Structure 1
Amino acid sequence: MQFKGNIEETLQRLLSQEDTDGDKKITIEDKGPKAFTIDLLSEDGFAKAYVIKGTYYLSNFLQELALEKALGKTEAIIPLSKIEEAPTARVSRMIKDYFWDDLTRTLDAEGLRKSLGDDKATDATQRLYVPITDAEGVAYYQNIQQQFPNLEVVILPKEITPTYVKSINEKPGVLALALQEGKGVPFVVPGGRFNEMYGWDSYFEGVGLILDGRIDLAKAMVDNFCYQITHYGKILNANRSYYLTRTQPPFLSSFIREVYEAAPSIGKEWLASVLKVAIQEYETVWMQAPRLTENGLNRYYAQGVGIPPETEEGHFDDVLSAFAKSASRTDNEGGLFSIKAYVELYQSGALKEPKLDSYFTHDRSLRESGHDTSWRLDDVCADLNTVDINSLLYKYEIDFAYLIDTYFNGVFEGYQESHWKMVAQQRIERMNMLMWNEERGQYFDYNIQTKEQTHFESASNYIPLWAGIASEKDASQMLQSLMNDLKEKGGVAGTSKKMNDQVLEGAVQRQWDYPNGWAPHQMMIWRGLKNYNFEEALQELIYRWLWMITRNAVDYNGTIPEKYDVVACTHKVYAEYGNVGTEFDYITTSGFGWMNASYQYGLSLLHPDLRNKLDQLIDPDTLF
């Protein structure tokens, strides 16, 4: 049975009846009759009146009409099976068949038309910055510049200093990525307003891509990471000019290993080339001061000068107003500084504020951690050996050992497998000495200034399970702490309610904190639980997260956003930067990168009987 009819006429009739709030979606908030009559054609060509009932089926019909219209059709043919598709099958199919392609970009002549045409430029000029070390890229982009009247190709200096980066803050632009045979090597962006390849987002997107058979695209993203290390000295926060002094959480060894093991036909030559670059990143970015501290553990430490330019207007007003008042009291003329006047003096260098410089070092480092922003790291990040960065670097060390042993006969680039096992073991010993808390049953960030653990309860404290750091005994204690402190109806919260209750009254809600939950935390914790065979908890936490995503997709026209409130189980989260992926007409064609991946990864691990219950949207609190 299938619907066959005029797209525009049907769309207008459907929206007129069902989209009562006029947002070009059909959601539970619309007040229409939630019943729409269409004609269905049987296989023998006979038409039969059929009533589509309920928000979910009506929104599916709206989405399918929109997809047909996007193909340039005037008449749609839509099988009933797509209108009444099971929720998990539909969400998963949309991710696999539509979302990944819509999120894919290239930085070549074709791709630049989309990547440069965004709203991040402060003037009419769209800029593309190219490293001077990439002769092929310089020649290519200078050659195509004439195709883009508003494009300025800028060649970066060989030495990129924080002062230089500050000097181009008013001239922001995209940073070039890899080219291959005159074509841009593709990458996946997070979604919505983003047109850049982001650091840790890309790894999690890669997990989903591999599951969906898009190994070519996952490999391409590894290649772009290696290009960034080779030409910019690090994996960038994202390929934007103002991110040149900042990296993000390192996942390259995991990415390489998972891509290669999914498709060994790529060849050992490729594996050798990318493994060499990953070791280079480990040694030059992470195992050097200032990111390497005296105790042998690591921290996030982003360089830079002045105020991070990518933040929303007013983001730092509370901090800046306090410094402006203090400066006013010491001003020789006794005048009061407005925030604007104070910022102008500070940014110009005319006003020296070491404490404010320190605050912005912490803030940049917080953004380098990917957790932008969280009270866990506010005004302290650069002083912390964090659990997450040390767990990730341990994973590099054991991945290097594994890859060298498995594919290179135990020796690679002068390193034996045993070297990497040794440094990994040394890291475990240091983490256990400084970060492990037996009484609390979890690892905590360690403050190198106070020589104390922070005791801040967060999802990142459980990344040692993902990396395989914890002993079986310690892992059992961690499981209990995790379920007690962070489990909410919709999955794992970024930080605990207890931590949230300690935030000063009236303080800004930070997006990485309670009650919000994020896909990378869920995915890493799931894999950690799987590593230690905690199957019952694994199934429960997967179900809770997927139930929340599925429930919102069913009720809100297929919405798959950046983040969720895991306590209220809603996508209506507007802390700090809003919620990317909630604004669209008729249908979301991209979802959000790591959210898409978490859905596919969760389904791949979920027991079939729980998937059946998920399609029925059975409340998790009745199951667990």
Structure 2
Amino acid sequence: MLVPTIIALATLIRADELPPSCSRPVYCNSDLLHYVQTSRIFTDSKTFVDLHLQKDENTTLADFNELLEKTNRNPSKEQIKKFVDDHFQSGNELEMWKPTDHNDNPPFLAEIRDKTLRKFAQDINSIWPTLGRKVKPIVFEKPDLYSFIPISNGFIIPGGRFSEIYYWDAYWIVEGLLICGMEDTARGMIENLIQLLKKLGHIPNGSRIYYEQRSQPPLLSAMVSLYIQRTKDLAFLKANSEVLQYELEYWLETQTITFEKDGKSYTLLQYRAPSAGPRPESYHEDYTLAQQFESEERQQEFYMDIKSAAESGWDFSSRWFIGPNGENNGNLSTIHTTKIIPVDLNSIFANALQNIAYFQGLLGNRREAAHWAYLANQWRTTIEDVLWDDEDGIWYDYNWDYPNAWPPLVSITVNALRTLGTREAKQMAFDVAQKWVRACLKGFTDNKQMFEKYDVEQPGRIGGGGEYTVQAGFGWSNGVVLEMIKNYAYKMTATANPELSDESISEVELSVESVEAN
């Protein structure tokens, strides 16, 4: 379908005008990285950049340059593999960590009416300790030997190949932890992100140095809002209110674009990760795709677009594929992320502005609260003016990647419908949530695992496509299912004809159910 989007004018990009993906050449910008990743000694490009050095970086690079000289810059695959085996090592940066506030039977389970869903929620709660990790002391002592950016608190990883903290994944993980009563672990997750923000000036895509030049949807203030609403911890809020504002200033200073529509000037955000070369963690894939473009400038534009799509968290979606007539089809070769102003990013940012206003109000800073509330209203007005389609009655960017469904997007859709407040929208929200939970339950029953994404055509089936195998674990999937079960604990069922556990239904829940039925 044709998707109305705001398209910026194309510009030629030169590699020497852009910074590398990070400040560590071994992991981001070196002959060593290029030769290792293009030799395919590892089937997954992420494997190499997650290894840690056995010698310092300068020595390692010098040793590799010596190998290049000896082989006339044409080392064999076996020679490259031996070099990596001699100079790098896997593991040794993280250790298993069980959150001290984990409870096998958190109180919210008693609210769940359906016995099957109650057991499903309990099983998901039991996954948290298996995903718990903590950084070993050696990483703090010798950070230059690792691609992992050390963070102080124990944390929950997404799962599968992702052994680090990720920015926007963390929102649904934090929500799931709070539902399970794990306030300390949730606060630790947020504090880790704040540490990254203070260290780099923004929160990176993930806690690896090779993500240094790109972020992800700015959901930090939303996580803090969840935490504050649950705990009323105003001391934590007061200690971190300034740094929360700093993150929004980063987006305003680096990710805005000003353009004209209908003779009026507007400013909104876009995803933009301006750094040279392929993504280090997907180097071979990006480099291979870029070879179809003849000019270096077009190759660099492609690298920026693909990194910007990774910054969006939608890596990858057909929403970024723009054909010659504006249609959303094609493949990664037609990716044009930096030419689009996405509605989701700007909506998240408007909410972030509103959250800062809310925080300042809680702290008694009325003038500051009014300032941020004004900015939030202004941003929402711009979204309305630019991205709302009167004829279709929606804000565009929507409808991609069929038949895959991603848990965060299902969560956003359900909560958006609930927020509309109409009877029809509330019922639709419940219907979507119940179908999603039932599908995930089937997948869990069949596979004893939660997955990163699912296929909507066959309930419970793992999603497909993408540039790597769909991962199990999975942090955000756990959080989204827990969110939906908790929100509809009094009426959601595992099947159309469930066996209910009546002893768990409180008078309050029965009363609420009766009101909604009427």
Shorter-chain TM range is: 0.5 to 0.7
Q: CA deviation at 1:418?
A: 1.6
Q: Distance in 1 between matches of 2:136 and 2:235?
A: 26
Aligned to 1:16: none
Q: Which of 586, 593, 596 is the aligned partner of 2:478?
A: 596
- Cα–Cα, structure 1 residues 539 and 358, in superposed 2: closer, same or farther, change >3 Å? same
Alignment of 1:80-479 (within 5 A): 86-96=115-125, 98-109=126-137, 128=139, 141-142=140-141, 153-154=143-144, 173-177=147-151, 179=152, 185-264=153-232, 266=233, 268-283=234-249, 285-294=250-259, 295-311=266-282, 313-314=284-285, 317=288, 319-323=289-293, 326=294, 353-378=296-321, 379-411=335-367, 416-445=368-397, 457-458=398-399
Contact 1:223 1:274 in 2 (8 A): no
- Cα–Cα, structure 1 residues 293 and 226, in superposed 2: closer, same or farther, change >3 Å? farther
Q: Distance in 1 between matches of 2:315 and 2:344?
A: 14
Q: CA deviation at 1:554?
A: 2.0
- Cα–Cα, structure 1 residues 316 and 592, in superposed 2: closer, same or farther, change >3 Å? same
Aligned to 1:539: 430
Structure 2 residue matching 1:310: 3-state secondary structure: helix
Q: Distance in 2 between matches of 1:615 and 1:253?
A: 41
Aligned to 1:348: none
Q: CA deviation at 1:312?
A: 6.8
Structure 1 residue matching 2:135: 3-state secondary structure: coil
The letter for the 1-side match of 2:403 is P
Contact 1:300 1:382 in 2 (8 A): yes
Q: CA deviation at 1:290?
A: 4.1
Alignment of 1:518-557 (within 5 A): 518-533=406-421, 534-556=425-447
Contact 2:438 2:494 in 1 (8 A): no
Contact 1:87 1:550 in 2 (8 A): no
Q: CA deviation at 1:286?
A: 0.6
Q: CA deviation at 1:436?
A: 0.4
Contact 2:455 2:464 in 1 (8 A): no
- Cα–Cα, structure 1 residues 612 and 560, in superposed 2: closer, same or farther, change >3 Å? closer
Q: CA deviation at 1:536?
A: 0.6
Tell me the matched-pair count: 364
- Cα–Cα, structure 1 residues 172 and 615, in superposed 2: closer, same or farther, change >3 Å? farther
Q: CA deviation at 1:273?
A: 2.1
Q: CA deviation at 1:231?
A: 0.6
The letter for the 1-side match of 2:435 is R
Q: Distance in 1 between matches of 2:174 and 2:496?
A: 25
Q: Distance in 1 between matches of 2:493 and 2:255?
A: 47
Structure 2 residue matching 1:106: 3-state secondary structure: strand
The letter for the 1-side match of 2:271 is Y
Contact 1:520 1:594 in 2 (8 A): yes
Structure 1 residue matching 2:143: 3-state secondary structure: strand
When you count strand as a share of all residues, which structure comes out higher? 1
Q: CA deviation at 1:607?
A: 5.5
Q: Distance in 2 between matches of 1:277 and 1:406?
A: 16
Contact 1:561 1:571 in 2 (8 A): no
Aligned to 1:575: 465
Contact 1:571 1:579 in 2 (8 A): no
Aligned to 2:81: none
Q: CA deviation at 1:430?
A: 1.3
Q: CA deviation at 1:86?
A: 4.7
Q: Distance in 2 between matches of 1:312 and 1:565?
A: 28
The letter for the 2-side match of 1:307 is P
Q: CA deviation at 1:527?
A: 1.6
Identity of paired residues, percent?
A: 25
- Cα–Cα, structure 1 residues 193 and 301, in superposed 2: closer, same or farther, change >3 Å? same
Q: Higher RCO, 1 or 2 (CA under 8 Å, sep at least 6)?
A: 2
Contact 1:248 1:370 in 2 (8 A): yes
Q: Distance in 1 between matches of 2:494 and 2:436?
A: 15
Aligned to 1:613: 495
Aligned to 1:515: 403
**Structure 1 length-normalised TM:** 0.55
Contact 1:172 1:242 in 2 (8 A): no
Alignment of 1:485-524 (within 5 A): 495=400, 513-524=401-412
Deviations, residues 105-149 of structure 1 (Å, cap 9, x unaligned) = 12133xx7xxxxxxxxxxxxxxx5xxxxxxxxxxxx22xxxxxxx
Deviations, residues 9-33 of structure 1 (Å, cap 9, x unaligned) = xxxxxxxxxxxxxxxxxxxxxxxxx
Q: CA deviation at 1:377?
A: 1.4
- Cα–Cα, structure 1 residues 531 and 259, in superposed 2: closer, same or farther, change >3 Å? same
Q: CA deviation at 1:218?
A: 0.8
The letter for the 2-side match of 1:299 is Q
Q: Distance in 1 between matches of 2:275 and 2:215?
A: 12
Aligned to 1:566: 456
Deviations, residues 323-361 of structure 1 (Å, cap 9, x unaligned) = 2xx4xxxxxxxxxxxxxxxxxxxxxxxxx6111111111
Larger radius of gyration: 1
Contact 1:88 1:614 in 2 (8 A): no
Q: Distance in 1 between matches of 2:268 and 2:253?
A: 11
Structure 1 residue matching 2:217: 3-state secondary structure: coil
Deviations, residues 161-200 of structure 1 (Å, cap 9, x unaligned) = xxxxxxxxxx8611111x3xxxxx1221101222100010
Q: CA deviation at 1:260?
A: 1.2
After superposition, the CA RMSD in angstroms is 2.3
Q: CA deviation at 1:540?
A: 0.3
Deviations, residues 28-59 of structure 1 (Å, cap 9, x unaligned) = xxxxxxxxxxxxxxxxxxxxxxxxxxxxxxxx
Deviations, residues 413-449 of structure 1 (Å, cap 9, x unaligned) = xxx222112111211221111110011121125xxxx
When you count helix as a share of all residues, which structure comes out higher? 2
Q: Distance in 1 between matches of 2:480 and 2:320?
A: 25
**Structure 2 length-normalised TM:** 0.66
- Cα–Cα, structure 1 residues 600 and 290, in superposed 2: closer, same or farther, change >3 Å? closer
Structure 1 residue matching 2:181: 3-state secondary structure: coil
Structure 2 residue matching 1:287: 3-state secondary structure: helix
Contact 2:169 2:476 in 1 (8 A): yes
